[in-house]
Structure 1
Amino acid sequence: MTTPAPVRPPGRVQRLLRRPVAVAEAVIAQRTVHLAPEPPGARSGVITPDGCTLPSPGTEGALRLEAVGDSLVAGSGVDSQGQALTPRIARLLAAGTGEDVAWSTHARLGSTMRRVRYRFLPEVDQADVLLVCAGSNDLLARRSLAEWEEDLEAVLDDAAGRARHVVVCSAGQLYRSPVLMRTLRRVLREWTDAQTEASAAICARRRVPYVDVAHCDLAEGFWAQDGFHPSAAGYEMAASMVTEPMLSALGATRTGSPLRQDH
């Protein structure tokens, strides 16, 4: 595992000089980087504490996990939806709570937080746990920090009425993508740092757990074949990180114990 080294903030002149180079490198990346598609498979299901999969109709009494977001939620980089982030979280939650977990994914490749706000979040209702995961495409689209903050605030306002517990996950580590060029990666690191800091502050004010996967160690074999999205190992790493605050919020441990006292 490797930890991203601290970045010394560049001066104003250096930032101005980097910008056109980064824009040019982004154009090159759009033409040369072939992104992994969203994998096929069902985007909902039920998982038992022993890891078995049940038909989706058998959801009565199950803990409800919903996830909204971008390609990290849609599972780009793996071969099937069953290997993607949401069902991996569901398996860990089922094992940790001792309950069946009914999971559902609402996401698309290329989605920004604004699309989450207006398209995917309205599809969620009465979830026990809701994962919100976006940000990378906001960075790539050069949306302003003010726009990001507005959309995240609005998403959390809406999510509070749709789920008992909400967990937010940061953008990924695009600045370490092996298929992006050097100056673009540096600029993306600066923007990622700013977005992460703003997001953490918003979530802290609302007492919403925030998982920073933008500055963590990367598991061995983290990158998928496209060099842009996580592999199966990458999604397993992220699932483990995201599940911890979910179990804490639910009042359970990984050893498993009945928990839903208010249901």
Structure 2
Amino acid sequence: MTLGIGTPIATIQAMWAKHTIHLAEAPGGEPFGVRKFQGSTSNNAKPLTVCAVGDSMVAACGTQDQQEGLIPDLADGFAQEFRRDVSWEAHGKLGATMRRVRYRLLPEVLKSGKKFDILVICAGSNDIMANRTLDEWRADLSAVLDEAKSLSDHIVVLSPGQMQHEPSLGKALRRALEREMDEQAAVSKEVCAERNATYVDMIHENVHADAPDFFSPDHFHPSAKGYSYMVEGVVAKLGPSFVQDLAAA
């Protein structure tokens, strides 16, 4: 964790955070599963397949079990929205940057030879904390999306979580991180638009980050409840055309 960004006060707060924050490791449990459509009827279609690649949010850090993380919750949201069972798998790593996704995590998925209905890419916060430039971010995200085309026709890129609300960070540092996230999001939108990927910007959405149960005990990652709050916003922001396309697949 570098976090050497922003004003002198923000830099001091970053140095303090680096030495005092003890991040939750990835939990145990299986990083895959099936979430069932809970309605009274089903169209009897085969389950949609969802694969996620990325950072600690994909790895379910902050929960007690992989089955309580963002990706299984997202699979559950998709199941109810598309009225289909959803088979999911998660390939996440604590501290992963988009560069690690590009050179380590995504190649592992590519080797499987699988094709998925939805591919979710989730990284960005670690790039900011490591002081990676916007040019580096653009290059890595572009390369990831170019490679990912062979895995899915529906690629969703998630913005970082709301670091501006993390209680473990000082106020000046949170403001600096918010500015960095906004700048990164602007680049992400351009890259995704160029490559026909769907960018979901959750930086300023109301995901109840001020709720007492949103953050996990490390005061940095979302809790199981926090991830469920986030999923509601992600599914809502995907839009009717995305939903209709997948529901008919």
The question of 1:43 aligning with 2:35 is answered no
- The alignment status of 1:109 with 2:102, answered yes or no, reads no
Displacement of 1:241 in angstroms is: 2.5
Q: Distance in 1 between matches of 2:13 and 2:145?
A: 34
One-letter identity of the residue aligned with 1:65: V
Aligned to 2:42: none
Alignment of 1:90-105 (within 5 A): 90-105=75-90
> Is 2:132 the counterpart of 1:143?
yes
Partner residue, 1:251: 244
Q: Supply the distance in 2 between the matched residues of 1:126 and 1:137 (Cα, whole angstroms).
A: 28
Larger radius of gyration: 1
Q: CA deviation at 1:249?
A: 2.2
Cα gap change, 1:40/1:19 in structure 2, threshold over 3 Å: closer, same or farther? same
Partner residue in 2 for 1:228: 220
Cα deviation for residue 155 of structure 1 reads 0.8
Shift in CA distance, 183/96, structure 1 to aligned 2, threshold 3 Å = closer
Q: CA deviation at 1:250?
A: 4.8
1:252 to partner: Cα distance: 6.0
Question: What is the aligned partner in structure 2 of residue 186 from structure 1?
Answer: 175
Corresponding residue of 2:71: 86
Deviation at 1:246, TM superposition (A): 7.8
8 Å CA contact retained: 2:62, 2:223: yes
Instruction: Identify the residue that residue 126 of structure 1 maps to in structure 2.
Output: 115
Gap regions ≥5 residues in structure 2: 40-44
Structure 2: distance between partners of 1:46 and 1:241: 21
TM superposition shift of 1:218: 3.1
Partner-residue secondary structure (3-state), 1:236: helix
Residue number in structure 1 paired with 2:14: 26
TM-score, with structure 2 as normaliser: 0.85
Distance across 2 between alignment mates of 1:106 and 1:114? 14
Return the match for 2:206 from 217, 239, 248: 217
Cα deviation, residue 190, structure 1: 1.6
CA distance 1:225–1:160, shift in 2 (3 Å): same
CA-based RMSD: 2.2
Cα displacement (A) at 1:62: 2.5
Q: What's the CA shift for 1:98?
A: 2.7
Q: CA deviation at 1:175?
A: 2.2
Tell me the CA shift for residue 109 of structure 1: 0.6
Counterpart secondary structure, 2:23: coil
Aligned residues between the structures? 232
Cα displacement (A) at 1:200 = 1.4
Structure 1 equivalent of residue 51 of structure 2: 66
TM-score by length of 1: 0.81
C-alpha separation in 1, matches of 2:228 and 2:66: 13
Q: Report deviation, 1:97.
A: 2.2
Q: Give the unaligned 5+ runs of structure 1.
A: 1-16, 52-59
Whether the 8 Å contact between 1:93 and 1:247 is mirrored in structure 2 is no
